[in-house]
Amino acid sequence: MGLILYHFPPSGPSRGALLAAKAIGADVDVQIVNLFKKEQLKEDFVKINPQHTVPTLVDGDVSIWDSHAIGTYLATTYGKDETLYPKDPKQRALIDQRLYFDCGTLYPRIRAICFPVLFLGEDQIYDEHKAPLEEALGFLDVFLEGNEFVTGNKLTVADCSLVASTSSIAAIGWDLSPYSNVAAWVARCSLAIPGYAEFNQTGADEFGKLVRSKLAPGQL
């Protein structure tokens, strides 16, 4: 039995895991779990992942969820070389830090804006949520100063996660122009990651369109 990735295209974290798989060259069987239809609550899926989240990776008798854990697992287990997740402790620690920045800082601040709009009936984006996201994008811009990618001049699994998050907020119409390093990096990732348009941008656009459709005029 091969690798199975349970995936929902509008989800930034889910796209981050899929981008990592594509960058690594791992052959994954993508199975769609529609969160809007609550398919993640089906009994068969809950048996695989009791936290019922996507993405979820199944590799034989092992199930892994959280996109960052999936990316590093795939790179360690199936990577053709160490480029995307080197074994060197210092290099790996820097990649891990960027991954933790995504899951602990950037993505939660994106979610704080988009989740209430998608699921709680909000139609506005409040300043109290805008400022933290701008701060996180500013941090990312600093990480990229003088670098082509988020840990240096080579693509890693950290780029896959962070660009999936960043493209999600860009797709709702967030202005990235104040962060020139970020904007240029997104463009580089779109060329460096195989299948970027199909496996990331299409889902980001779907996500962005849905969020925009629920916002009051003039929110962005």
| Residues catalogued as catalytic | 11
Cα–Cα distance for residue pair 75/84, rounded to 1 Å: 7
Residues 6+ apart with CB under 8 A from 76: 85
> Torsion angle, CA of 99/105/154/89, rounded to 10 degrees?
-40
Strand-by-strand arrangement of the 62-65 sheet:
28-32, 3-7, 56-59, 62-65
Q: Is the peptide bond before 55 cis (omega within 30 degrees of 0)?
A: yes
Cα–Cα distance for residue pair 188/77, rounded to 1 Å: 26
Residues 6+ apart with CB under 8 A from 5: 17, 18, 21, 28, 29, 30, 31, 55, 56, 57, 58, 70
Sequence length of the chain is 220
